[in-house]
Amino acid sequence: MSISSKYHKALTLNYTNDLYGLALKKGDCIFLTGSCPLPTPKILYQKLLESFTKDSSFCSYNTGMPALKSAIGEYIEKHSGVEIDTQKRLLITLGATTFLQQLFIYLLDDERECLVMTPTFQDYFNQIRVTRSKIIEVPMVETNNSWVVDFDAVKKAITSKTKVILLCSPNNPTGKVYSKEELREFCQIAKENNAYLVLDEAYNYLIYEGSFISPLSFSEYADNVIVVRTFSKEFGMCGWRVGYAIVPEIMKDELFHFQLSFNSVPAAISQMAALLSLNTQEIEDNIKVEIERTRQKRDYVIDRVRGIGKDLSLIAPEGCVYLYVKYGKDIPSYDFCKDVIEKVGVIVSPGVGNGEGGEGHLCITFADSLEIIQEGMDRLQEYFDKYY
């Protein structure tokens, strides 16, 4: 008899994680993967120490710190121009990834379907598979130097079993930022089909062109929209495991109790750090500086890839910390990435893990220091010069 259950057997290989293992075994590798663009600001540690020196209580409300909820509401109003009733719609979460897994288990089962716009973050697929729900992929189209949604294909893919439409904006790995018109169309489709539009907005702050639009600003669709965010990216809090979700009022209490069945809210120290991050002007100023630095790293990587030439092509990302590069040779992206590790010691992510439309692409992350990125791109240049 097998040890694992049918739920575990539903999972498939996480290609990037597998490549991580190969790179660690090889040693001396440059990791052009990962997604933590900002280090935790030193001032946050100072303020955290001051806070707990004054009040050493580490007890936390099961529902999350009231002050943190209030601060998040103010942040959303300031940056999205919309007022959220934090008592009725806000959940403090153990990061974004954990909550998304809980959300999928709450909404999906083997009699329901989840429509996923691809290419997208590869971790979603196993999170959905564990629910035994059917995944319906609708690939975006690369055209006119942009990623375009085929709404005819979306509408054809919707069935009476569709319960979730999943988007990531800004998108990991393409860097696409969904427009106001696209988001309204998705909201309307969700509403007409009694489904929920789930938005992972981990990089909502990191936009290079235009402005970021969240469907939170569409009050008429509040009953069909779920927005999930994290403090990891914007506030340099990777590993602190704290995030939040804005959910329809009708499901907030049930989702809260569902959360508690798996875990409580984030540790008190993480919640306090999140609160201080929202209320510290120096951190807000630092974010603006880091956004510009990340833009410069993006432009550097774009120039380096274009300088390689060959048959490489790309669409400049509008947000996020990823460059999705298309290549022309008939080589599976997973095999391609393994060869890059073996030949020059660089790990990039294979597009096959991002769903339909992803194969034939490599994903390069420019979240690390410029020095590491430069070394990684030098090695990639060597690979394409010698082995491609």
Single pTM value for the model = 0.94
Instruction: Say whether pLDDT at 139 is over 80.
Output: yes
| 186, 334 contact by CB (below 8 A) | no
> What pLDDT score does 57 carry?
62
> What pLDDT score does 60 carry?
65
Neighbouring residues of 277: CB distance < 8 A, sequence distance ≥ 6:
41, 44, 231, 235, 237, 283
SS (H, E, C) the chain: CCCCCHHHHCCCCCHHHHHHHHHHHHCCCEECCCCCCCCCCHHHHHHHHHHHHHCCCCCCCCCCCHHHHHHHHHHHHHHHCCCCCHHHHEEEECHHHHHHHHHHHHHCCCCCEEEEEECCCCHHHHHHHCCCCEEEEEECEEECCEEECCHHHHHHHCCCCEEEEEEECCCCCCCCCCCHHHHHHHHHHHHHCCCEEEEECCCCCCECCCCCCCHHHCHHHHHHEEEEEECCCCCCCCCCCCEEEECCHHHHHHHHHHHHHHCCCCCHHHHHHHHHHHHCHHHHHHHHHHHHHHHHHHHHHHHHHHHHCCCCEECCCCECCEEEEECCCCCCHHHHHHHHHHHHCEECEEHHHHCCCCCCEEEEECCCCHHHHHHHHHHHHHHHHHCC
> What pLDDT score does 37 carry?
60
Average pLDDT of every residue of the chain: 92
Domains 6-40+283-386 and 55-280 share a fold: no
Mean pLDDT in residue range 216-234:
94
User: 235 versus 312: which is more confidently predicted?
Assistant: 312
| 362, 325 contact by CB (below 8 A) | yes
> What pLDDT score does 159 carry?
97
| 177, 204 contact by CB (below 8 A) | no
> What pLDDT score does 224 carry?
97
Q: Which residue has the tokens 């989702």?
A: 255
Per-residue pLDDT tens over the stretch 357-382: 999 999 999 999 999 999 999 999 99
Rg of the chain over CA atoms, in angstroms? 21
- Asked, as a colleague might, if the bond just before 119 is cis with ω within 30 of 0, I would say yes
CB atoms within 10 A of CB 155: 13
d(CA 117, CA 32): 24
| Domain residue ranges of the chain, discontinuous segments joined by + | 6-40+283-386, 55-280
Give the pLDDT band of residue 45 (cuts 50, 70, 90): confident
> What pLDDT score does 326 carry?
97
Give the pLDDT band of residue 53 (cuts 50, 70, 90): confident
d(CA 7, CA 226): 25
Give the pLDDT band of residue 301 (cuts 50, 70, 90): very high
**CATH top class, domain 6-40+283-386:** alpha beta
> What pLDDT score does 304 carry?
97
Per-residue pLDDT tens over the stretch 66-124: 999 999 999 999 988 889 999 999 999 999 999 999 999 999 999 999 999 999 999 99
Mean pLDDT in residue range 253-266:
85
> Is 55-280 CATH 3.40.640.10?
yes
350, with CB counted inside 10 A (0-12, 13-18, 19+), is: buried
With CA atoms as reference, report the closest residue to 157 among 116, 120, 121, 111: 116
- For the chain, the residue count is 388
**Which amino acid makes up residue 64?**
G
CB atoms within 10 A of CB 73: 20
> What pLDDT score does 373 carry?
95
* CA dist list (Å): 327 to 140, 337, 362: 17, 12, 8
